[in-house]
Amino acid sequence: MPNLIQSAALFERACGLLPGGVKSPVRAFGAVGGTPRFIERAKGCRIYDADGNAYVDYVLSWGPALLGHAPAAVVEAVTEAAAKGLSFGAPCEGEVAIAERIRALVPCMDMLRMVNSGTEATMSALRLARGFTGRDNFVKFAGCYHGHADAMLVAAGSGALTQGVPNSAGVPADFAAHTIVLPYNDVEAVRDCFRKQGGTIAAVFVEPIAANMGLVLPAPGFLETLRALCDEHGALLVFDEVITGFRLAPGGAQQAFGIAPDLSCFGKIIGGGMPVGCYGGRADVMRQIAPLGPVYQAGTLSGNPVAMAAGIATLDAIRAGGDRLYADLVAKSARLADGLQSAADDAGIALQTPRATGIAGIFFAEAPIRSHADLSKADAGRYARFFHGMLERGFAFAPSAFEAIFLSSAHDDESIDATIAAARDVFAEMAR
């Protein structure tokens, strides 16, 4: 057991000041038990806690660190920008430069607006979709997480799912009444919904790969059906690519699947670790945003020069890495997922290890997980044992059975192989 004196002391102090001692529920370790690690620094594929313990990190700040922690080019860009001023409250060249880079990588982003988080991006995109179509209802899928705006916290994933309260207190019933929740990957349910309510639906919001209830891949034809039904009924298709954006491919999931949404929401990677988000898409839709149109959205720190510098440096590194970067991420994801699967199989433990580019999942279940309803088949208690066994050996996975595993260009074969070797020991203990 690693020394946790400083983390325990910090958590005790935090609990008297912060609800649950944390700034986001899943960080409290409530689903797995134990003491949260307070992180002091991070570099490459490793994080270091306040007690000096080192961990190979598969959380990666919940996805942004595609290049690993504190890549030199990004740190240098942030340092240089910060020396010139932290925030101007006025336009700066950086917001134009990052928009040009995003549009070059994601062709359907005719116009875009920078914001400060993925939640801001999705809530703004929803308001825009309603303003553009003149309709109030929208469709989301059970287990998909689109931030903590009121309308989105209905059958949500991520932290809400981990806490066992997918429908948050404080969300007015009138708001929830306009949120239509359907099963992920259920084409017939979507068709039936559009047959009955198509004229009332402003938009369909979807994670093209659901990465907030573990990792759940879209069934063949699912995303294509969403595109066709939105076209037929005059609704907007909105891809929430806060996680998948620039991770699955340079142009995100929409490039990987060859489907162009009407609006897209991005975050995490485009900030290089700094707080950032953006939404954008069709020019005719985006021109409804003030000052061009009647849909209002603003933000004091949106497009601040430090976050823009971090994002520009990150996107430049992604473009420079090209196909080799993504081929490497594919190989690393497969190496880790296949290794974990093999280790579990050898121990006689039922495990599912879905994977995509730079991302993987782990479910202690007999059969693949295809939807939110399937999560009841996964053993969260076994995940908690796995989590602590790995953490004690120096490998940090998410403190929840319903989160994804992230990999970066900084993870090397040696660290991945060490992870698999540790998992073999943990699985052997679990099988006893």
Q: Where are the beta strands (DSSP E) in 261-417?
A: 263-267, 277-281, 355-356, 359-360, 395-396, 405-406
Taking the C-alpha atoms of residue 114 and residue 90, their distance in angstroms, rounded to an integer, is 13
Contact status, residue 159 vs residue 24, Cβ threshold 8 Å = yes
Residue that is written with structure tokens 């960080």 in the block: 27
Inter-residue contact 117 to 279 (CB < 8 Å): no
Known active-site residue 279: no
Of 58, 140, 262, 268, catalytic: 268
Amino acid at 120: E
Contacts of residue 226, Cβ cutoff 8 Å, sequence gap at least 6? 190, 204, 206, 237
Q: Cα(240)–Cα(267) distance, rounded to whole angstroms?
A: 9
| Catalytic one of 49, 57, 58, 145 | 145
268 flagged as catalytic: yes
Out of 57, 240, 262, 374, pick the active-site residue.
240
Structural contact between residues 311 and 73, judged by C-beta atoms closer than 8 angstroms:
no
Task: Find residue 315's DSSP bridge partners.
Answer: none
Calculate ∠ Cα 48-50-56, nearest 5°: 20
DSSP per residue, 316-350: HHHHHHHHHHHHHHHHHHHHHHHHHHHHHHHHT--
Is position 332 annotated as part of the catalytic site? no
Cα(64)–Cα(143) distance, integer angstroms: 21
**Rounded Cα–Cα distance for residues 432 and 428 (Å):** 7
> Are the C-beta atoms of residues 291 and 297 closer than 8 Å to each other?
no
Q: Which residues are catalytically annotated?
A: 145, 240, 268
